[in-house]
């Protein structure tokens, strides 16, 4: 059997008892569960080890020490950082060391070499693609961790109080505004996503906007409806496909690059929507990942599952 958590939700009431000096918590409270009295009887056997006052005094003392140490640390830290900043090259200086052959090449030859007019998109998806690959996996890691923590495993369900929530869809103003707003937001997101190599934006910005749109949708029309539109399977499938596509596309590019093989994907004419080689599909993949990551964050926080 799996270990039950050592301290139950009932713990807080028991803790209050301990505060008043009635019980001692030096023994593990193994799921007093539905019979708090019986558990208390078991706890009663042990003598209290410390009184509440003595203990809280001790804690207060140690936190005071901690605060003094932390204040000193902060002061030293701030002074050092300000001194360092004072010794950096000037802000807005055109002759700063950061303006070197690297950034010049990104700008001057970036359009030719990557096919992207937006230098930032070209840089993060072509020159420094390994970073960006890692970055999308940061999102993936985070979504898995949130799933681990927020999924309610076998314990009591948490949607007990759903009825008490405000139903936004009944409110005329909210419903009307959102009916107008959500398509516009989604459209804007798609535009940013697809135009990432030509104008400001790209996978991360577009995905975040799309994700925000989906969140508004599921907020107003309810999680039930949203999860009917995007069932958990679909979300998983999309995330899986986009990340796998991203990995494979980039590994093709890395492999050909490192082995000096020809790269067979055409770059197209810079400035057109179908240009930039792999950049646009990659932007779309990243956008899907970001969008569904944000959406799953929301769903996990809202109701504990996708």
Partner 1 sequence: MEQLFGNLLYNYEEVVAVILFSIGFCILLFSRNLIKKVVGLDIMDTGVFLLLASRGYIAGRHVPIIVDGITTAEYYINPIPAGLVLTGIVVSVSVSALMLSLTVRIYRTYHTLDVDSLYMMMSVSKGGKQ
Partner 2 sequence: MITAFRIILLASLVICAIGTAIVKKPMHAIIIYMAYSVIMSIIWVLLESPDLAITEAAVGAGVTGILFFLTLHRINLIDKDAEHDSRKEDEGEGESDHAR
Partner 3 sequence: MSFVQNFPFFSVILSLLCAVTSFFLDARWAKRLTLFLLCTSIGLQGSVLSFCYRNHMSYEYLMGHFAAPWGNEIALGILEPLFALLFATVMLCCVLGGIKRMERDVFPGKQSYYWIMVDLAHVSLLALCYTNDIFTGYVFIEICTIASCALLSIRENGRALIAAVRYMVFALIGSGLFLIGVIFTYSITGQLLFPQLYETIASLWEAGTYRFSMTIAIGLMVVGLAIKSGMFPFHFWMPDTYGRATPASSGILSGVISKGYIFLLIKIIYRVVGIEIFAASGVQTLLLLFGIAGMVAGSVSAIFAKRLTTMVAFSSVAQIGYIYMGLGMGTQAALIAVFFQIFSHALTKPMLFLSASQLANVSGGRQDFRSLCGAGHRHPVAGFTFTVGALSMVGIPLFAGFIPKLYFATSAFGLGWKTWPVLLALAVSTVLNVMYFLYTTILIWLPREEGARNHNRVMPQVETIVPAALLAGFNLMVGIHSSALTALFTQGIDLFCQ
Which residues would be at the binding site for partner 2 (CB under 8 A)? Answer: 9, 12-13, 34, 118, 120-121, 147, 151-158, 160-161, 164, 192, 200-202, 204-205, 208-209, 211-212, 215, 219, 232, 294, 297-298, 301-302, 304-306
**Which of partner 2, partner 1, partner 3, none does 257 bind, CB closer than 5 to 8 A by kind?**
partner 3
Closest to partner 1 by CB, 220 or 302:
302
| DSSP letter, residue 117 | S
Q: Does 301 participate in binding partner 1 (rule CB under 8 A)?
A: yes
Q: Name the residue nearer to partner 1 (CB basis): 142 or 229.
A: 142
**Single residue of 99, 232, 248, 273 touching partner 1 by CB under 8 A:** 99
Q: Exactly one of 16, 35, 151, 157 binds partner 3 (CB under 8 A); which one?
A: 151
Binding mask 49-88 for partner 1 (x = CB under 8 A): -x----xx--x---x---x--x--xx--xx--xxx-xxxx
- CA 142 to each of CA 49, 124, 231, 289: distance values in angstroms, whole numbers, following the listed order: 41, 21, 20, 12
Element (H, E) at 238: helix 232-258
130 binds, among partner 1, partner 3, partner 2, none (CB under 5 to 8 A by kind): partner 3
Nearest residue to 300 via CA among 144, 129, 90, 102: 144
CB of 210 to partner 2, least distance (A): 9
Span 174-233, contacts to partner 3 by CB under 8 A: none
> Is the CA virtual torsion 292, 298, 299, 300 positive or negative?
positive
- Asked if 195 and 171 count as a contact pair (C-beta separation under 8 A), the reply is no
Report residue 263 as tokens.
Answer: 């790269």
- For 180, residues 6+ apart whose C-beta sits below 8 A from its C-beta are none
Question: What are the residues whose beta carbons fall under 8 Å from the beta carbon of 272, sequence distance 6 or more?
Answer: none
Query: Which of 52, 58, 240, 301 is close enough to bind partner 3 by CB under 8 A?
Result: 240
Evaluate whether 283 touches 242 at the Cβ level (below 8 Å): no
Return the range that interacts with partner 1 (CB under 8 A); candidates 2-10, 166-174, 226-234, 257-265. 2-10
Q: Please report, as residue ranges, which positions from 77 to 96 form the binding site for partner 3 (by CB under 8 A).
A: 80-81, 83-84, 87-89, 96
CB of 185 to partner 2, least distance (A): 9
C-beta of residue 284 within 8 angstroms of C-beta of residue 273 = no
Decide if 115 contacts 276 (C-beta within 8 A): yes
Q: Shortest Cβ distance from residue 119 to partner 3 (Å)?
A: 12
User: How far apart, in whole angstroms, are the C-alpha atoms of residue 150 and residue 93?
Assistant: 47
The C-alpha atoms of residue 196 and residue 202 are separated, in whole angstroms, by 4
Q: Minimum distance from CB of 193 to partner 1 (Å)? A: 14
CB of 148 to partner 3, least distance (A): 5
As given in the structure block, the two tokens for residue 255 are: 């492999």
Q: Which helix (DSSP H) or strand (DSSP E) does residue 58 occupy?
A: helix 52-86
Nearer Cβ to partner 1 (123/178)? 123
Question: Which tokens hold the place of 39?
Answer: 């558990």
User: Which parts of this chain interact with partner 3 (CB under 8 A)?
Assistant: 1-3, 5-7, 80-81, 83-84, 87-89, 96-103, 105-106, 113, 126-131, 133-135, 137-138, 140-142, 144-145, 147-149, 151, 153-154, 236-237, 239-240, 243-244, 247-248, 251, 253-260, 263
């Amino acid at each position: 059997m799996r270990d039950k958590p050592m301290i139950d939700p009932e713990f807080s009431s028991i803790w209050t008892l301990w505060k008043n000096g009635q019980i001692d918590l030096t023994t593990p409270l193994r799921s007093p569960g539905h019979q708090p009295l019986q558990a208390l009887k078991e706890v009663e056997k042990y003598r209290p080890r410390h009184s509440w006052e003595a203990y809280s005094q001790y804690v207060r003392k140690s936190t005071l020490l901690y605060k003094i140490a932390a204040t000193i640390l902060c002061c030293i830290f701030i002074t050092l950082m300000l001194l360092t900043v004072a010794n950096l090259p000037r802000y807005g200086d055109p002759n700063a060391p950061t303006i070197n052959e690297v950034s010049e090449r990104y700008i001057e030859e970036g359009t030719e070499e990557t096919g992207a007019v937006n230098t930032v998109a070209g840089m993060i998806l072509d020159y420094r693609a390994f970073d960006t690959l890692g970055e999308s996996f940061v999102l993936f890691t985070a979504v898995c961790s949130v799933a681990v923590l927020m999924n309610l495993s076998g314990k009591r369900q948490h949607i007990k109080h759903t009825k008490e929530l405000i139903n936004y869809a009944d409110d005329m103003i909210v419903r009307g505004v959102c009916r107008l707003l959500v398509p516009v937001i989604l459209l804007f997101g798609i535009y940013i996503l697809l135009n990432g190599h030509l104008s400001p934006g790209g996978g991360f910005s577009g995905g975040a906007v799309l994700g925000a749109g989906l969140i508004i949708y599921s907020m107003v029309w309810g999680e039930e409806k949203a999860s009917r539109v995007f069932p958990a399977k679909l979300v998983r499938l999309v995330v899986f496909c986009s990340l796998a596509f991203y990995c494979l596309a980039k590994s093709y590019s890395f492999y050909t690059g490192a082995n000096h093989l020809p790269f067979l994907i055409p770059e197209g004419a810079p400035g057109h929507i179908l240009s930039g080689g792999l950049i646009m599909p990659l932007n779309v993949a990243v956008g899907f990942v970001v969008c569904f990551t944000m959406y799953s964050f929301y769903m996990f926080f809202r109701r504990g599952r996708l």
